[in-house]
Amino acid sequence: MSAFFIAMAFLESAVVVYLRALYYPEGFDFPLAPMSPTLVGTEIGREAATILMLLAVPAVVTRRALERFAWFCFGFGVWDIFYYVWLKVLLDWPSSLFSRDLLFLIPVPWVGPVWAPCVISLGLITTALVILHGRDRDPAFRVSTTAWALLIVGALLMILSFVIDPLQRSFGVQALLNSSGDALINGREYMPEHYPWPWFAAGFVFAVLGLFITWRSALRPPIRHTT
């Protein structure tokens, strides 16, 4: 299964290689090169299709919701990490883990250093392995409500770290789709300011606590029912 997600990552990076050859022949960086609304819309559709593909694999593997979630986390993590691995192989980019990247466009643009999504991807893979291990030991294993709350709050805070600066500076999808008007509004002069890493750090702490609780629960001996 890992081979499938690694292959998906190559396809994703191959599209980026073509786009950068057309729009960033001297290397990707902000501000963004102007792109037609049709192409921006296509990119948004491609991202949505990628998420659907990542959801489809777990749906085929298992019918259990928690295990589907775990396999989605595993697939997303492997795919995202190898996306950057392939870009490094094909373009020798990023130059460092601190390179800025346009991470996502749905529902608003996400901007951040490369290390941040890589840390999240490693966390997703770890979360998946913990859940799958717990289910392997005990088919009745569940993630507690407390752990879910911590994981969700952590995820939201880390996502906020990617979108807070673009949102505050009117750098949105509708702005990218608008091919005329003010340069900042359509994204052509948007330059990311200092990455708000404290938001990410706070989210990381919440997520780690949630993962720790889940790990402790996964290690408990399964309850044997006697008759």
Task: Give the Å distances, CA to CA, from 149 to 6, 10, 17, 85, 197.
Answer: 30, 34, 38, 32, 21
- Out of 96-100, 180-184, 218-222, give the one with best mean pLDDT: 96-100
pLDDT band for 163, please (50, 70, 90 cuts): very high
Q: What is the pTM of this model?
A: 0.90
Interval 3-47: pLDDT, tens: 999 999 999 999 999 999 999 998 898 888 888 888 888 999 999
- Residue 88's contacts (CB-CB under 8 Å, 6 or more residues apart) are 94
CB 115 within 8 A of CB 98: yes
Interval 102-159: pLDDT, tens: 999 888 889 999 999 999 999 999 999 999 999 999 989 999 999 999 999 999 999 9
Bond before 31 cis per omega within 30 degrees: yes
pLDDT band for 176, please (50, 70, 90 cuts): low
CB 122 within 8 A of CB 92: no
